[in-house]
């Protein structure tokens, strides 16, 4: 094919991408076509000239990753996945945003082949990209460039850069010197409300330069394929810092009606507007029109990486590694999200009657398991010692030590959560991250997306109740555990003692998706019958006879309170069963027979938890909890004054039994 013909075919391909970007939202009567149209040339360059991928194997470990952080432009991504042969068909585009379709309103990883992360909440994808870039660098340093050698690309818009998470993530990426991270800033000057100047006056180039990024402002180059390709190749040659390429695009281009209009952000293109735009492009006014030559162009591009993938597969098969930390068994364990064989034997054990804060027991478990868990990587948001998230002798992740597995996230909880999700979805990484439970609020969007996308992360949240003490109500979580339980797909585990903490790590490692460890600041007694295996079933009987007249069900620090209360009740002739319920979600997954065996139907039940009582009606007839904010006082005083006492539990039992007796 001569150059003129090739140029014309590429132009026609971009026209088709733009047309599909209008046709999908029009068919759905919902969607965002303007950005998909203006970024069609960039998508063309990435998929046909720059990215290393094989559409026949969208999960190939050494592929380049592309994240659409401004996920509302999902029709752009779906159009490219169809054209390049990732498995989508035109009928999938026709079903854009419909029930049970492969083309949901925002990209969902695991739902559509070729989608790397679940995006939509703006800025999250940018932070996910930071996690993916850390993962690539760490695996390359540990296992060698012959099996890990790729780039992470992120497309972001004004909304992504406006959200605060973008500051945290970009600051961390710059400090880390993530040279394989390349971000495209779609500077189209348009938001839903109107021009960005209504609310935004930032100098993005200066901002990212201050973070330590390489900044390349291409100006009016969003239609210049060669300029974009050259900028990408330049960025790929920069090893010591992440890159941002700024494109001044024109939303809705080349629509004669809606170019540079904020109406183009959402559904502004009716049949007439679409027809007029297709006339400008010189293509038929036919929905979902894709000529054979255009499809062949993109299918060829989609298959171009097959040889590279085959070569990689051969290199992986031959990979031996220099020692057991980077051999094939370690690689396989890392990519499975599991430790090496025999890890259960390394779980710490504790003598009944001893005392240990569960945050310290968690550190002991992490210290024991990390050396045999090749994917383990993480740290905390400036609270490493406080939260028990230290990886001893494993190096600090940085440009100087890219093999290091300890990440110092800094005071960046928002970014930490989203970076963890990116690490998990990259593969080969089992991320953990810690902060105080009360600051899980800062992480909630990322935690929700972890649940939605089944990202295997371990969130470590400590200082789990008003037992935090003197810091007062700003730092004393009361609603947080129940709030986290409300997120579908997140396994919330609040262990009662050191033994259950070992069980919590076992459950998290053996489970798919995200887990949250809710841990105490204060020392807790190790219970006589606490059980690692009991945690694995979500709830179990700690003490009490089979013919008990009442059940006390607790979590975390309140289980020992229940044991004390049961002992006093027994002295008064009232037999009580004590049930530890470290994980609601896991208990709900058990057979009904097991659930009924632990909490027999009809047995009067009192729940005890140092937090809001909302939700406990599912398991208990009466709830002892804290339905108010805490107060500044020593932890034991705060717990006592707010009703977390043996006497208060006994009073609740008496009240319930009186009501039952009528």
Contacts of 177 (CB under 8 A, 6+ apart): 212, 240, 241, 242, 398, 399
CA separation for the pair 113, 268 (Å, rounded): 29
CB 242 within 8 A of CB 181: yes
Nearest partner of 173 among 149, 201, 154, judged by Cα: 154
CA separation for the pair 275, 286 (Å, rounded): 9
CB 476 within 8 A of CB 485: no
CA separation for the pair 334, 500 (Å, rounded): 25
CA separation for the pair 37, 277 (Å, rounded): 11
Terminal Cα-to-Cα distance of the chain (whole angstroms)? 91
The dihedral through the CA atoms of 522, 527, 533, 535 has a sign that is negative
Both structure tokens of 571: 């002295």
CB 613 within 8 A of CB 625: yes
Report strand pairing: 491-493 vs 550-554.
Answer: unpaired
CB 86 within 8 A of CB 113: yes
CA separation for the pair 634, 110 (Å, rounded): 47
Nearest partner of 297 among 566, 8, 76, 496, judged by Cα: 8
SS3 call for 156? strand
SS3 call for 559? helix
Number of Cβ atoms within 10 Å of the Cβ of 385:
10
CB 497 within 8 A of CB 350: yes
Both structure tokens of 74: 């999902």
DSSP secondary structure of 415-460: HHHHHHHHHHHHSS-EEEEEEEGGGHHHHHHHHHHHHHHT---EEE
168 is catalytic: no
Report strand pairing: 491-493 vs 523-525.
Answer: unpaired
Report strand pairing: 243-247 vs 214-219.
Answer: parallel
Nearest partner of 375 among 404, 340, 334, judged by Cα: 334
Choosing from 116, 136, 413, 500, which is the catalytic residue?
Answer: 413
Number of Cβ atoms within 10 Å of the Cβ of 2:
7
CA separation for the pair 472, 300 (Å, rounded): 62
Q: Which helix (H) or strand (E) covers residue 176, if one does?
A: helix 164-176
SS3 call for 474? coil
What backbone torsions phi and psi does residue 74 show, to the nearest 5 degrees?
Answer: -60, -30
- Per the DSSP assignment, residues forming a β-bridge with 378 are 406, 432
Both structure tokens of 443: 């992480």
CB 140 within 8 A of CB 397: no
Both structure tokens of 183: 């971000």
Annotated catalytic sites, by residue? 413
């Amino acid at each position: 094919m001569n150059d003129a013909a090739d140029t014309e075919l590429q132009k026609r391909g971009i026209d088709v991408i733009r047309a599909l970007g209008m046709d999908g939202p029009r068919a759905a009567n919902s969607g965002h076509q303007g950005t998909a149209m203006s970024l069609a040339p960039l998508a063309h360059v990435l998929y046909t000239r720059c990215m290393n991928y094989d559409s026949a194997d969208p999960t190939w470990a050494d592929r380049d990753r592309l994240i659409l952080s401004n996920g509302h432009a999902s029709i752009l991504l779906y159009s490219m996945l169809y054209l390049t042969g990732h498995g989508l068909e035109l009928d999938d585009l026709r079903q854009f945003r419909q029930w049970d379709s492969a083309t949901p309103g925002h990209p969902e990883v695991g739902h559509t082949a070729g989608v790397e992360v679940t995006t939509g909440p703006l800025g999250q994808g940018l932070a996910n990209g930071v996690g993916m870039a850390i993962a690539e660098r760490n695996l390359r340093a540990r296992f060698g460039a012959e099996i890990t050698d790729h780039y992470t690309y992120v497309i972001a818009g004004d909304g992504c850069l406006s959200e605060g998470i973008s500051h945290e993530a970009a600051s961390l990426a710059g400090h880390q010197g993530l040279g394989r991270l390349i971000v495209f800033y779609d500077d189209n000057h348009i938001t839903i409300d109107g021009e960005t100047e209504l609310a935004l006056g930032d100098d993005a180039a200066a901002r990212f330069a201050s973070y330590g990024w390489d900044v390349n402002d291409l100006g009016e180059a969003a239609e210049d394929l060669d300029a974009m390709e050259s900028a990408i190749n330049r960025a790929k040659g920069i090893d010591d810092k992440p890159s941002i390429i700024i494109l001044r695009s024109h939303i809705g281009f080349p629509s004669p009606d809606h170019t540079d209009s904020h109406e183009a952000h959402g559904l502004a293109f009716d049949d007439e507007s679409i027809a007029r735009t297709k006339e400008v492009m010189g293509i038929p006014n036919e929905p979902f029109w894709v000529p054979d030559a255009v499809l062949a162009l993109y299918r060829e591009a989609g298959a171009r990486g097959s040889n590279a993938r085959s070569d990689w597969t051969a290199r992986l098969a031959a990979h031996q590694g220099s020692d057991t930390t980077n051999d094939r068994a370690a690689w396989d364990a890392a990519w499975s999200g599991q430790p090496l064989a025999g890890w259960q034997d390394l779980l710490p054990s504790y003598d009944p009657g001893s005392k240990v804060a569960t945050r310290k027991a968690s550190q002991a478990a992490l210290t024991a398991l990390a050396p045999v868990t090749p994917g383990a990587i993480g740290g905390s948001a400036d609270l490493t010692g406080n939260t028990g998230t230290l990886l001893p002798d494993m190096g600090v992740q940085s440009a100087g030590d890219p093999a290091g597995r300890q990440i110092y996230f800094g005071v960046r909880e928002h970014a930490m959560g989203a970076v963890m999700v990116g690490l998990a979805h990259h593969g080969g990484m089992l991320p953990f991250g810690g902060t105080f439970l009360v600051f899980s609020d800062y992480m909630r969007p990322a935690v929700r997306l972890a649940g939605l996308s089944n990202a295997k992360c371990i969130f470590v949240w400590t200082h789990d109740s008003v037992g935090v003490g003197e810091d007062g109500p700003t730092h004393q979580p009361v609603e947080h555990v129940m709030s986290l339980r409300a997120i579908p797909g997140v396994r919330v585990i609040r262990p009662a003692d050191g033994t259950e903490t070992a069980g919590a790590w076992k459950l998290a490692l053996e489970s798919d998706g995200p887990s949250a460890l809710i841990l105490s600041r204060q020392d807790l007694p190790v219970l006589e019958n606490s059980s690692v295996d009991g945690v694995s079933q979500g709830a179990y009987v700690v003490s009490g006879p089979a013919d008990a007249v009442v059940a006390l069900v607790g979590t975390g620090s309140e289980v020992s309170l229940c044991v004390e209360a049961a002992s006093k009740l027994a002295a008064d002739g009232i037999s009580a069963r004590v049930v530890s319920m470290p994980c609601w979600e896991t208990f709900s997954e058990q057979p009904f027979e097991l659930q009924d065996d632990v909490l027999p139907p009809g047995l009067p039940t009192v729940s005890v938890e140092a937090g809001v009582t909302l939700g406990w009606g599912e398991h208990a007839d009466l709830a002892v909890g804290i339905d108010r904010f805490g107060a500044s006082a020593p932890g034991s005083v705060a717990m006592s004054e707010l009703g977390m006492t043996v006497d208060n539990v006994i009073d609740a039992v008496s009240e319930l039994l009186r009501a039952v007796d009528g």
